[in-house]
Amino acid sequence: MLLKRYHTSIRYSEAVTHRGVAYLCGQVGEGDTIQAQTRHCLAQIDDLLKQVNSGRDKILQAIIWLKDMADYAAMNEIWDAWIPPGLAPARACCEARLAAEHYKIEIVITAACD
């Protein structure tokens, strides 16, 4: 089958693959700081990418929502260290009201997969 869903619940799937592209659902982080939440998001993304036979080097697009754009620089410190040099994806980052008050960040990834 060309389409596969991963960790599907009644509301959403953690990831969906179709014709060599993986679509990851938004990942939110745990922790008290933007750095901690960003690291947690990225660790979850790493895990999902592995499950869909992909990796950081195959990320096509990232959409990042921040609760407060004042966290932009601190988030980017973690992001920049995580992305392989020279392989940055197309990316958007904006401020948004997130699903729960304690969330500071949510990241959505689209990646090529094998």
Average pLDDT of the chain, as a whole number:
96
Q: Which 8-state DSSP code applies to residue 32?
A: S
CB 48 within 8 A of CB 14: yes
Percent of the chain scoring above 90 in pLDDT: 97
Show me where the domains of the chain are located. 3-112
Instruction: Judge whether residue 34 has pLDDT over 90.
Output: yes
Topology adopted by domain 3-112: 60s Ribosomal Protein L30; Chain: A; (3.30.1330)
Instruction: Judge whether residue 28 has pLDDT over 80.
Output: yes
pLDDT value at residue 52: 97
Percent of the chain scoring above 70 in pLDDT: 99
Instruction: Judge whether residue 1 has pLDDT over 80.
Output: no
Instruction: Judge whether residue 2 has pLDDT over 80.
Output: yes
Closest Cα partner for 98 from 6, 42, 34? 34
Q: How far is CA 26 from the centre of its chain?
A: 6
pLDDT band at 114 (very low <50, low <70, confident <90, very high): confident
CA pair distance 35, 104, nearest whole angstrom:
10
Tens of pLDDT, residues 58-92: 999 999 999 999 999 999 999 999 999 999 999 99
